[in-house]
Amino acid sequence: MNQSINNEKHTVLLTGATGFLGKHLGAKLYENPDFSVKAAVRKYAKDLSIPQSDQCLINDINSETKWEAALKGCDRAVHMAARVHVMKEDASYPLAEFRRINVDGTLNLARQAADQGIKRFVFVSSIKVNGEKTSRGFSYTTDVPEIPKDPYGLSKYEAEEGLKEIAVNTGMEVVIIRPPMIYGPGVKGNFQRLVNLINKGYPLPLAHINNKRSFVSIYNLCDLIQCCLIHPAAANQTFLVSDNEDLSTSELLQKMAEVLEIKPHLFWFPKGVLKFSASVLGKGGEISRLVDSLQVDISDTMDKLNWKPAVNVESALKQTLRC
């Protein structure tokens, strides 16, 4: 981890500790003698690196959640718990549900954290705050081109804005991190679906897709979060993160196949026809994430924190696909 070193030991509250990111981050911090960790969980979990004696029961996260017991003794917090993007939405008003947890729940926790003397609050947001795709030769920075229209992205944006206001009013330091697609051992969602398609040998119409997308391995993201917990320059900043190795979809599939030691079955198909056909079938969003570009510029993150991704894509994919 590339960061300034201090000798102070910190006690960190983790929300979302039983999730994909939470399990990896909890294990990383628990192994570090500079940190003590408390995990906020709905029910005691045996599959965490954090023992049950350091787990604190929390019910649904919303504007009424009581955090006093969980925050007691902590001086840092990492908030990862959220209502994430839902592929098959069943809520009659999705934005209200996203706001209830991602905005109201986040700001309620942050206010109580400030009242309890938490010095630094790290919020794991999303690149969806910036948008869904980038044009050729353009990469997202921390500037937001326009207010997000996607309910999940909008809820994260509103939470970010509320946290900045709390930081100004209370003096609690807030750090915001916006990751793109995260992958690593145990990953699910879109990344795992790609792995399954390659593994089963399905022919995919994605040869010669010349887009570029930024990804971040769980190892690099956890390393950055750990850095942001203590680095002096991280206070009240927003950071983008990636592996700093952008790939086209076809390049990613080729690399996956190499690790799995199988031959991918990719064929050429007109991009425009593919996107139109997918939109007719109600799969436009899924195909866009495969054929459009989404790049992030992490030069500001690396410069301000003297940090760089420690694990390259090839190594991260090997650890992800061979676990």
- DSSP H helical ranges for 91-201: 94-98, 106-115, 151-170, 189-199
Our measurement of the distance from residue 151's CA atom to the centroid of its chain's CA atoms, rounded to an integer in Å, reads 17
Under 8 Å between Cβ of 149 and 104: no
Q: CA 86 to CA 45: how far, in whole Å? A: 24
Beta-bridge mates of residue 216: 182
**Burial class (CB within 10 angstroms; exposed 0-12, middle 13-18, buried 19+) of 178:** buried
**Residue 44: active-site member:** no
- Could you tell me which of 162, 14, 151, 158 has the C-alpha nearest to residue 84? 151
Q: CA 102 to CA 95: how far, in whole Å? A: 10
Q: CA 157 to CA 178: how far, in whole Å? A: 10
Burial letters 187-205, b for 16+ CB under 10 A, else e? beeebeebbebbeeeeebb
Angle of CA points 89, 108, 145, to nearest 5°: 60
- Other C-beta atoms within 10 Å of 45: how many? 16
Instruction: List the structure tokens of 168.
Output: 């100004």
Could you say which DSSP state residue 311 is in? S
Query: Which residue of the set 152, 157, 183, 219 is catalytic?
Result: 152
Q: CA 263 to CA 266: how far, in whole Å? A: 9
Under 8 Å between Cβ of 259 and 195: no
**Burial class (CB within 10 angstroms; exposed 0-12, middle 13-18, buried 19+) of 163:** buried
Catalytic residues: 152
